Amino acid sequence: MLVDLGHHLQGTNVEQIVAYLLDEGKLGGFHFNARKYADDDLIVGTTNPYELFLIFHQIVDALDDGEAPVVRRTAEGIAYMIDQSHAIEPKILAMIRSVLNVQTALAKALLVNLDEVRRAQAAQDVLAAEAAVREAFECDVAPLLRASREERGLPADPLRAYLGSGYGERIKARGVGGASW
């Protein structure tokens, strides 16, 4: 099954749907975007970054589950796609922002102390489990992501690198794609 983050009723617990589909071995992929009112193709993670983080937390937890090989195989096989369309935001800048938001959510999900969460769950201590998850969400992962990019020879700040490249201005000057590029 494909989970499109832009097509759920307001208030839907998408991360619970993700956990259920993982458990059943049925999660095939994601269309990452965000929704507000009638627009479902907004920049990923802008309207509910905690939801995006919790989705990645479910995936990371599934990848760590050595006792459920079907769940792990399902998590390993997920296809990811950014599904957005921009009428106001410059398209390339919006796409870069979406990728950065996904990287941030995943980095935070990787920081969750899964052993602590599992101990709290086993003790039926909801507040302790939530505290362990929330602690990771509240971490500032920007320095970690910058360092990771630099180690791989990539610009530490992709948005600044793109803006400094002049590419967007060259595209506009050629009249390709109009002002939205």
Residue at 176 is within a domain: no
Q: Can you give the pLDDT at residue 115? A: 96
Q: How much is the pLDDT for 174?
A: 79
Chain segment 117-170, per-residue pLDDT in tens: 999 999 999 999 999 999 999 999 999 999 999 999 999 999 999 999 998 888
The helix (run of H) or strand (run of E) holding residue 174 is helix 167-174
Whether 177 is covered by a domain: the verdict is no
Angle between helices 91-110 and 142-151 (to 10 degrees): 110
Range of the domain at 46: 2-170
Residue 58 lies in a domain: yes
Question: Is 178 among the domain residues?
Answer: no
Number of domains in the chain: 1
| 181 belongs to a structural domain | no
pLDDT of residue 135: 98
Domain CATH for 92: 3.20.20.150
> What percent of the chain has a predicted confidence (pLDDT) above 90?
64
